[in-house]
Amino acid sequence: MDRTKRQGLMLVLALSISLCSLADGACVQEENGGPVHCCDQREHGGSLQCCGGRNSSCGMEDYVHNTICYCDEFCETAADCCPDFESVKRPCGWGNVKQDCVVSPWSDWGPCSPRCGIGFRRRTRTVTFRPMNGGRECPPLIENSGCFTKLCGGKELGFARILPYKFKKERAPSVWDKILPAPKEEVKTTEAPKRPSYCIHYKVHFKHPHCRNTWADKLDPQTPICVECQDEAMNKHGKCKGQGLFGDVTLWEAVDLKSCYGGWLKIGPKIPNCTCQNKQFNNFIFI
């Protein structure tokens, strides 16, 4: 064998030796025998790479092959671990070290849910690393927030003003008369017939904290409410302001309570020739 062929074979042999074959994976090495693509480099004067959770700086780059592998716990999920990663789990203490849950930052808020009125918007986040060995559990991944776009149905249907049913107009005069609409002046001509009342049922979605410890406690989200529209509160079209639209959350306010307001959902159609006296409901009147 001539000298040129011998040198070629020796070069091939040297390159073959430069790859370190391990029982649990192969680590890329430089020609001098030092590993550049391994998590554990202690046998060659280096260190043991142990990075909990997700750590993009915990990686080993192979400049020859232009690749990079990682030695963090997240590499198993990302499928980009270095070849000897399995062998470093025990010396790194994984399997008996407590690891808290790690989550991503919140996403941007989504759009307001209804096309009008009070609604909800949502944002989310995801789990980056799940808890291990008694670590802290993951926090909520979904967060909702109230939002408001515009009044439903325009000014005529917008903001309902209400009082408890005990202040119904037909009852005896009381201190609440100054709140209720003033009676029309008597005229000599024949008065228009009184328009019959109608009822609407709602489910309260929320109310302001200023409503606490007042009659507005009866505006309970757990109990459906009945609101009666009387002739005195009707507009020229025979409707009460703020009666809302079916299936949409609209706004209400307590007439005599400062900063007491909230949102409700209309859960049924208008009930003609009706008065709110059903004890299964909490009863109110439009103003």
Binned at pLDDT 50, 70 and 90, residue 157 comes out as low
pLDDT digits 0-9 by tens, 212-242: 999 999 998 888 999 999 998 998 888 998 8
| CA-to-CA dists, residue 225 to 185, 197, 254, 265, angstroms | 33, 16, 14, 10
Query: Regarding predicted confidence, which is higher, 265 or 15?
Result: 265
Q: Are residues 210 and 261 in the same domain?
A: yes
Residues 220 and 257 in one domain: yes
Q: Return the top range by mean pLDDT from 24-28, 57-61, 175-179.
A: 57-61
Q: Same domain, yes or no, for 129 and 47?
A: no
Tell me, yes or no, whether 207 and 277 share the same domain: yes
Residue 210 and residue 267 in one domain: yes
171, pLDDT greater than 70: no
Does a structural domain hold residue 198? yes
Q: Is residue 143 part of a domain?
A: yes
For residue 176, pLDDT over 70 is answered with: no
Q: What span, in angstroms and rounded, lies between the C-alpha atoms of 86 and 25? A: 8
| Strands, E assignment, the chain | 19-22, 25-28, 59-62, 67-70, 102-103, 118-124, 127-129, 142-148, 159-164, 198-207, 225-229, 249-254, 261-266, 271-272, 282-286
pLDDT tens sequence across 250-261: 888 998 888 898
Residue 262 lies in a domain: yes
3-state secondary structure of 107: coil
Query: Between these two residues, 13 and 202, which has the higher pLDDT value?
Result: 202
Q: Is residue 122 part of a domain?
A: yes
**Do residues 164 and 272 share a domain?**
yes
**What proportion of the chain, given as a percentage, has pLDDT over 90?**
20
pLDDT digit string (tens) for 69-82? Answer: 888 888 888 888 88
Task: Specify the CATH number for the domain of residue 129.
Answer: 2.20.100.10
CB-neighbour burial class of residue 226 (10 A; exposed 0-12, middle 13-18, buried 19+): buried
How many domains, the chain?
A: 3
Residue 22 lies in a domain: no
pTM: 0.45
pLDDT recorded at residue 67: 76
Of 4-8, 43-47, 55-59, 174-178, the poorest mean pLDDT is in: 4-8
Domain that holds residue 131: 102-149
According to DSSP, residue 29 is labeled B
Contact indicator for 147, 121 with CB cutoff of 8 Å: yes
Co-location of 242 and 164 in the same domain:
yes
Residue whose C-alpha is closest to residue 206's, from 271, 269, 261: 261
3-state secondary structure of 207: strand
Residues 58 and 120 in one domain: no
